[in-house]
Amino acid sequence: MKEHLQAIVTLFSLVNPMVCMLMFAGATAGRSPAQRAADATRAVLVVAAVLVIAAFLGARILGVFGISLHVFSVAGGLVLSFIGFNMLTGSGTDKPGAPAADGTASLAPMILFAASPGTITGVITIAAVHTGTGVPVTALLGIAVVLGITWALLMVAARRPAPAPDKGPSLAHDMVSRYMGLIVIAMGIQYALTGLKGFMAA
C-alpha cells in the first residue's frame, strides 16, 4: 500500500493535472462542450498509451538505442523548455482556440506536458523498482489514478463556457497562460539539469 501511494503522489506531481487543465482550457477555447469533452478523452487516452508503454517497455526501448535515462531527461527537458517558451511569449504556431489541420483542437503541448520526459522517466523508475511479478502493477495503478483525476478535471473545464477564438484571450487568461509557460520552462530546465547531473555522476 505504501508503494502504491508513493507512486500515485510521484506521478501526480509529474503529470500536474491542474496545469494540464489550464493548458487544455486554452487550447480548446471556442469549441463546443461536446467537442471539448471528446478532446479531453482523446488527450487522456494518448497520454495513457504513452505511459503504459513506458511502464512495460520504456527501459528496453531506450536500451535498444543505447540511450540512458539521464540523456533522455536532458533531451526531453530541452523540448519541454521550448514548449514553455512558446507559451510564455505567445509565439507558438498553435494559438488558443486555433484548430489543427484536421479541424480538431491542437492538444500536443498539453499531451507533451503530461507525458513529459520527467513523467516517462518516473514511470520507468517505478516500474523497475516495484515490479516483482513481471507486471508493473504499482506503476499501472499510479497511472490509472492520476489520469483518472486528470480526465475529471479536463471534463470540468470542458463543461465551462469558453470565449470564442475570434475575440482573443482575455487579459487574465493571457497572464495565466504566460505564467504556466514559465512553469513549464522551469520544469524542463529542472529535468535537463537533473539528467545532466546524473549523467556526469555516472
Q: Following DSSP, what letter does each residue of 42-75 receive, concatenated? A: HHHHHHHHHHHHHHHHHHHHHHHTT--HHHHHHH
Residue 99 pLDDT: 47
Average pLDDT over residues 126-144: 80
pLDDT at 98 over 70: no
Average pLDDT over residues 88-115: 65
The C-alpha angle 115, 197, 120, rounded to 5 degrees, equals 15
Give Cβ neighbours of residue 36 (< 8 Å, ≥ 6 apart): 24, 28, 105, 157, 158, 159, 162
pLDDT at 104 over 60: no
Residue 136 or residue 94, greater confidence: 136
Place of cell 471528446: 38
pLDDT above 70 covers a percentage of the chain that reads: 81
Place of cell 516495484: 130
Tell me the C-alpha distance between 87 and 187, whole Å.
13
Residue 159 or residue 179, greater confidence: 159
pLDDT at 148 over 50: yes
Residue 80 pLDDT: 73
23-27, 85-89, 118-122, 190-194: least confidently modelled range: 85-89
Per-residue DSSP letter, 99: B
Residue 150 or residue 57, greater confidence: 150
- CA proximity to 94, closest of 112, 78, 119: 112
Residue 149 pLDDT: 96
Residue 175 pLDDT: 74
